[in-house]
Amino acid sequence: MADNYGTVLAKNVRAARARKGLDQEPLAVRMRALGYSAWRRQTVASVEKANRRLTAEEILGLALALQTTIGALMEPAADDEFVSLPSGQLVRGNTVSVSLRFGYDSTIMWDGNVPRFGLPSIPGEDDSR
């Protein structure tokens, strides 16, 4: 089963923090030093459990606090073949990676305001996705 994209972000934040050898509290302190005044240890824990969504501004702050790139926080792992959107639609992990590096790859086309996902069916999955 595919991770939802929030779980991808959570894993990446946790991994980046571990690589820096930081506990959750020092990361929260760094975020507060950057102006994210509401960040506490519990905020970091909630983010790392995918219980709290991140804003674009917070992703920037985390990249700076963890001395990494925005892309490193947002890119699915190489073995994440698919990630799911809040709608349940699946997007290839590769599509997210390409979007981060090069731009839109036309995997999702729009019919008015209805998305059309250019994905092959997955064995065992409901074809209505």
What letter would DSSP give residue 51? -
**CATH number of the domain to which 52 belongs:** 1.10.260.40
39 lies in some domain: yes
Q: Which two tokens stand for residue 81?
A: 């073949």
pLDDT in tens, 67-112: 999 999 999 998 899 999 988 889 999 889 888 888 877 778 888 8
pLDDT at 1: 66
Q: Is residue 105 part of a domain?
A: no
Evaluate whether residue 12 is within a structural domain.
yes
Domain that holds residue 8: 3-74
Residue 14 maps to a domain: yes
Q: Are 96 and 75 in contact (CB under 8 A)?
A: yes
Which residue type, as a one-letter code, is found at position 19?
R
The pair of structure tokens assigned to 108 is 């999702």
**Inside any domain, residue 52:** yes
Are 71 and 16 within 8 A, CB to CB?
Answer: no
Structurally, the chain folds into a number of domains equal to 1
Q: Tell me, yes or no, whether 123 lies in a domain.
A: no
Looking at residue 52, its pLDDT comes to 96
pLDDT digits (tens, 9 = 90+) for 26-38: 999 999 999 999 9
Does residue 113 lie within any of the structural domains? no
The continuous run of DSSP H or E covering 52 comes out as: none
Domain contains 112:
no
